[in-house]
Amino acid sequence: MSTPAEPEISYEQARSELREIVHALESGGQPLEESLALWQRGERLATICQRWLEGARSRLDAAIAASDSEQPAG
């Protein structure tokens, strides 16, 4: 999930930083270059969050499938 230049961070860390970036972009006042850099970092963080959520969904689906297969029929 991580790139060599960017260590993997937790979902909570990525989400928290993403919220800070959204707030900064919504409040405005940054030069264009800084806004663009914030936007790009936000995109990377959103991707990290999405991957965490997809992984969690896969594990949940697998656990449900395993639970369903263990229950006796009838």
| Per-residue pLDDT tens digits for 19-60 | 999 999 999 999 999 999 999 999 999 999 999 999 999 999
Please report the pLDDT score of residue 70 as a whole number. Answer: 81
> Does 8 or 62 have the greater pLDDT score?
62
Please report the pLDDT score of residue 11 as a whole number. Answer: 96
Q: How is the chain split into domains, by residue range?
A: 11-70
Taking each helix axis as running N to C, give the angle between helix 32-70 and helix 11-27, from 0 to 180 degrees, rounded to the nearest 10: 150
Q: Is the pLDDT of residue 4 over 50?
A: no
Please report the pLDDT score of residue 45 as a whole number. Answer: 97
Q: Report pTM.
A: 0.77
How many whole angstroms separate alpha carbon 43 and alpha carbon 25?
Answer: 13
Please report the pLDDT score of residue 27 as a whole number. Answer: 96
